[in-house]
């Protein structure tokens, strides 16, 4: 008989429980969780709640992981996941490009010093203002999403002008964590389809516009994809289209953009996309498919958003009430669907934990809810938290860096939370809390 030695665990948080937290997360004393060298309870005390905390080193390290995994590719951070001026600087300093989809994202980046030539503009319905600003600021590439955009863009560029463009192709692949975030299939609003010939038709029209230089094809399959396979299928279909374009038009496209959508774990034990495997297998598939088609290998571009910033963020809430009704215990916090609409939108599940004090060892099954006027305002349903949880306690929700603040709303006029960066033991305010004065100042009529 062999003896199995259990690893010695000194605190209530095992390594596994911290697996979805930033690498800097430590628990020097039970319940006393520290990120970026700063105790989360101190952040809450100093900046108030709800508050988003962002670990700068974690963001930078994730940018570097991409650069190392894809040394020959252009990695563009998808701004819509989360954007502020500090984030723009970090992404720039780490050598990533930027994927934007509005005049607002574009202008914030350019006025923060981000080089416009390293930016790509997306959007299924770009406004005249989006296009005018992109051209004026000199954005690197504009991704054409529909045939009607071609003549509009060509006219805006003018006969003497020049603009690099890509075209967003629908490869006909169903992948992604939820129906609402699948964008590679035929029945959704983005891109032009290969199967019905729209993509080929649109490309022929782009080639007729001398001021538009088509540099490559783009596709984005969806979000929260945890398997490499859909990306390999996308590579084969895109190279197939490139081969047909080469035959028909003698066209050689130097770039191929595979979009983002790389899945992350929101709760311990959940699957995430293996970036090293993705890089190796996409590279192999692309090389092989191009060789078989007699094409030179285009430069790869990728656009991760969530996987760069999601796991670097934490949302901190204060517990306001604990209510027992029938079989349920509801723990209500001072935020909710206005600072995180994702559970209501896609049924996403989070794993909040108590921070700032050691909770009782016995656990109770509770549902953590927000403060908003809807029954669907749920932060986390049916999770186990210390049974002695009470008003005044702090709850921390890991993996809150992506699609939280960027999707936050003005619901119930509670004001959007601030963003605080933590780094080597220091906490600094990046984005201040939205105040009633902010809300009042926009309200100019009577
Ligand atoms: C949203 C989006 C991304 C990023 O998606 P993630 O799931 O955050 O990686 C990349 N490219 C395009 C075109 C997008 O719309």
Distance CA 417, CA 241 (A): 45
The reply to whether 374 sits in an annotated binding site is yes
Instruction: Report yes or no: 414 and 373 within 8 Å, Cβ to Cβ.
Output: no
Proportion of the chain above pLDDT 70, given as a percent: 97
User: Per-residue pLDDT tens for 319-367?
Assistant: 999 999 988 999 999 999 999 999 999 889 899 999 999 999 999 999 9
Sequence-separated (6 or more) residues with CB below 8 Å from residue 235: 256, 258, 282, 285, 286, 289
152 burial (CB, 10 Å; 0-12 / 13-18 / 19+) is middle
Q: Give, for ligand 1, the residue of 221, 303, 304, 399 to mutate: max count of ligand atoms closer than 8 Å to Cβ.
A: 303
pLDDT digits (tens, 9 = 90+) for 106-149: 999 999 999 999 999 999 999 999 999 999 999 999 999 999 99
What is the tens place of the pLDDT at every residue in 10-67? 344 455 889 999 999 999 999 999 999 999 999 999 999 999 999 999 999 999 999 9
Considering only residues 8 and 68, tell me which one the structure prediction assigns the higher pLDDT.
Answer: 68
Read off the pLDDT band of 175 (50, 70, 90): confident
Q: Is there a binding annotation on residue 304? A: yes
Distant-in-sequence contacts of 205-211, Cβ < 8 A, 24+ apart: 205/147, 205/150, 205/151, 206/144, 206/150, 206/165, 206/167, 207/249, 207/251, 209/150, 209/151, 209/154, 211/154, 211/157, 211/158, 211/159, 211/160, 211/161, 211/162, 211/163
* C-alpha of residue 403 to centroid of ligand 1, in Å: 11
pLDDT average, residue stretch 145-174: 94
Domains of the chain: 26-55+311-442 (2.40.37.10), 70-304 (3.20.20.10)
Residue written as token pair 């040394």: 71
Report which DSSP code applies to 18: T
- pLDDT of residue 277 exceeding 50: yes
Ligand 1 centroid, distance to 6 Cα (angstroms):
42
Contact in structure between 404 and 428 (CB atoms under 8 Å): no
Residue 286: DSSP 8-state = H
Q: How far is the CA of 28 from the centre of ligand 1 (A)?
A: 36
| Rounded distance from Cα 260 to ligand 1 centre (Å) | 5
* pLDDT tens digits, one per residue of 304-319: 999 999 999 999 999 9
What values do phi and psi take at 188, rounded to 5?
-135, 175
> Would you call 42 exposed, middle or buried from its count of C-beta atoms within 10 A (0-12, 13-18, 19+)?
middle
- CA pair distance 396, 284, nearest whole angstrom: 41
Per-residue pLDDT tens over the stretch 406-434: 999 999 999 999 999 999 999 999 999 99
For helices 85-93 and 103-111, the axis angle rounded to 10 degrees is 70
- Mean pLDDT computed over every residue of the chain: 94
Instruction: For 225-258, write each residue's pLDDT tens digit.
Output: 999 999 999 999 999 999 999 999 999 999 999 9
Cα separation, 5 vs 166, in Å, equals 57
Pocket lining: 262 vs ligand 1, CB cutoff 6 Å: yes
Task: Answer for the pair 145, 121: CB distance below 8 angstroms, yes or no.
Answer: no
Non-local CB neighbours of 361 within 8 Å, separated by 6+ positions: 12, 386
Residue 310, ligand 1, Cβ within 6 A: no
Q: What is the pLDDT of residue 5?
A: 41
Give the pLDDT mean for 266-289. 97
Terminal C-alpha separation, the chain: 82
DSSP track, 77-126: EEGGG---HHHHHHHHHTT-EEEE-SHHHHHHHHHTT--GGGEEE--SS-
Q: Which pLDDT tens digit goes with each residue over 177-214?
A: 777 777 777 778 888 888 888 899 999 999 999 999 99
Spatial distance between the Cα atoms of 391 and 395, rounded to a whole number of angstroms: 11
Decide if 415 contacts 435 (C-beta within 8 A).
Answer: yes
Residue ranges of E strands in 308-444 = 313-325, 328-333, 353-355, 363-369, 378-386, 394-398, 419-423, 426-431
Asked if residue 281 belongs to a known ligand binding site, the reply is no
pLDDT at res. 211: 97
- State which of 100, 259, 301 you would mutate to test the pocket of ligand 1, scoring each by most atoms of that ligand within 8 A of its C-beta: 259
Q: Which residue has the higher pLDDT, 296 or 174?
A: 296
Is 373 an active-site residue?
A: yes
Q: Quick one: pLDDT at residue 13?
A: 46
- Is 342 flagged in the annotation as binding? yes
């Amino acid at each position: 008989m062999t003896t199995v030695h259990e690893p010695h665990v000194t605190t209530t948080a095992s390594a596994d429980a911290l697996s979805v937290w930033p690498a800097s997360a430590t628990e020097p004393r039970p319940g006393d969780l520290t990120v970026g060298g700063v105790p989360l309870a101190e952040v809450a005390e100093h900046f108030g709640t709800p508050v988003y905390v962002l670990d700068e080193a974690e963001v930078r390290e994730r940018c570097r992981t991409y650069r190392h995994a894809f040394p020959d590719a252009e990695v563009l951070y998808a701004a819509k996941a989360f954007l502020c001026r500090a984030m723009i600087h970090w992404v720039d300093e780490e050598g990533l490009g930027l994927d934007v989809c509005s005049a607002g994202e574009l202008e914030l980046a350019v006025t923060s010093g981000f080089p416009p030539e390293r930016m790509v503009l997306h959007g299924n319905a770009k406004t005249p203002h989006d296009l005018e600003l992109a051209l004026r600021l000199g954005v690197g590439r504009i991704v054409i999403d529909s045939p009607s955009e071609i003549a509009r863009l060509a006219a805006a560029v003018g006969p003497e002008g020049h603009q690099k463009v890509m075209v967003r192709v629908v490869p006909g692949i169903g992948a992604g964590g939820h129906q609402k975030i699948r964008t590679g299939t035929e029945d959704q609003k983005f891109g032009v389809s290969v199967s019905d010939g729209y993509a080929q038709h649109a490309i022929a029209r782009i080639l007729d516009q001398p001021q538009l230089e088509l540099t490559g094809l783009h596709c984005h399959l969806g979000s929260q994809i945890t398997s490499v396979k859909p990306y390999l299928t996308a590579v084969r279909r895109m190279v197939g289209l490139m081969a047909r374009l080469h035959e028909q038009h003698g066209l050689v496209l130097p770039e191929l953009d595979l979009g983002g959508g790389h899945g992350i774990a929101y709760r311990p034990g959940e699957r995430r996309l293996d970036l090293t495997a993705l890089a190796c297998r996409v590279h192999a598939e692309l090389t092989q498919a191009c060789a078989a088609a007699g094409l030179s290998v285009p430069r790869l571009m990728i656009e991760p958003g969530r996987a760069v910033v999601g796991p670097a963020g934490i949302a901190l809430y204060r517990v306001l009430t604990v209510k027992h009704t029938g079989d349920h215990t509801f723990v209500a916090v001072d935020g909710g669907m206005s600072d995180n609409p994702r559970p209501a939108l896609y049924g996403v599940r989070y794993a909040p934990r108590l921070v700032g004090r050691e909770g009782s060892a016995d656990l109770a099954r509770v549902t953590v809810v927000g403060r908003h006027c809807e029954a669907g305002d749920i932060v986390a349903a049916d999770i186990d938290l210390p049974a002695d949880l009470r008003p005044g306690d702090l709850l921390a929700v890991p993996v809150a860096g992506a699609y939280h603040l960027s999707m936050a709303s003005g619901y119930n006029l509670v004001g959007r939370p601030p963003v605080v960066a933590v780094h080597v033991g220091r906490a600094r305010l990046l984005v201040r809390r939205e105040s009633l004065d902010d809300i009042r100042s926009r309200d100019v009529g009577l």
